[in-house]
Chains A and B, each alone.
Chain A
Amino acid sequence: SQTIHQWPATLVQPVGSPLSLECTVEGTSNPNLYWYRQAAGRGLQLLFYSVGIGQISSEVPQNLSASRPQDRQFILSSKKLLLSDSGFYLCAWSLPGQGPRGSPLHFGNGTRLTVT
């Protein structure tokens, strides 16, 4: 069965410091990978998605970047954090293509980032 690991679970970082959040998926090959952000009391905003190694699509211009150095590894980064980067970051994966259930996303447990 497939599993997704996301770490760290919580992070407190000062403004201007760098950021690196990591996500790995096990039990499947060539998954689609996604980074979402959930601001307090709000819905989910898609930040980045990747359909293959080295292929990154950005949905919202911002202070963040993403990389996919390996097939099942997705990294969210920032060189200098802003206060507005605080939020709950969720990594997700889906099977490549569309199957009998469409292509539902499967989420990690999230990282709560507080920028102080």
Chain B
Amino acid sequence: GEDVEQSLFLSVREGDSSVINCTYTDSSSTYLYWYKQEPGAGLQLLTYIFSNMDMKQDQRLTVLLNKKDKHLSLRIADTQTGDSAIYFCAESMKDSSYKLIFGSGTRLLVRP
């Protein structure tokens, strides 16, 4: 079955690191994505990782993938108030639709 789960809420202090976690169930997923949604807006693609990779770093963002445990995480270094948003992980289905299945989103609050 297709299911992606995330914790609902995370609060960190400005300057600290944030770690947002995600678990997925479909072992045939090829790509996994992280999206950011600011209030009242659409979703912005942050980064992605291919399923044969363990880690990917992109400036302040680090994605870790544990394929055995089907666990994905997003680490944001030096978190800023502008990082406050909802973060969604998503897995890509391998069928011809290439649709994405999204988690319920983690609301990140950055305290000054």
- Which A residues lie at the B interface, using CB under 8 A? 6, 32, 34, 36, 42-44, 46, 49, 51, 57, 59, 90, 92, 94, 97-98, 101-110, 112
Contact = CB atoms under 8 A, between A and B. Distances in A.
A102 B33 CA distance: 10
Given A36-B102, A42-B104, 14 more contacts: A32-B97, A43-B104, A51-B96, A57-B97, A59-B99, A90-B42, A90-B43, A98-B31, A102-B48, A103-B92, A104-B33, A106-B45, A107-B43, A110-B41
Given A102-B50, A109-B41, A44 B88 contact: yes
B61 interface: no
B42 A102 contact: no
Contacts of A32: 97-98
Contacts of B99: 34, 46, 49, 59
B103 A104 contact: no
Nearest to A108: B42
Most chain-B CB neighbours within 10 Å: which of A97, A104, A110?
A104
Contact of B88 (A43, A49, A104): A43
Interface of A is mostly: strand
B42 A51 contact: no
B30 A98 contact: yes
A104 B45 contact: yes
A89 to B, nearest CB: 10
B40 A49 contact: no
A112 B40 contact: yes
A102 B104 contact: no
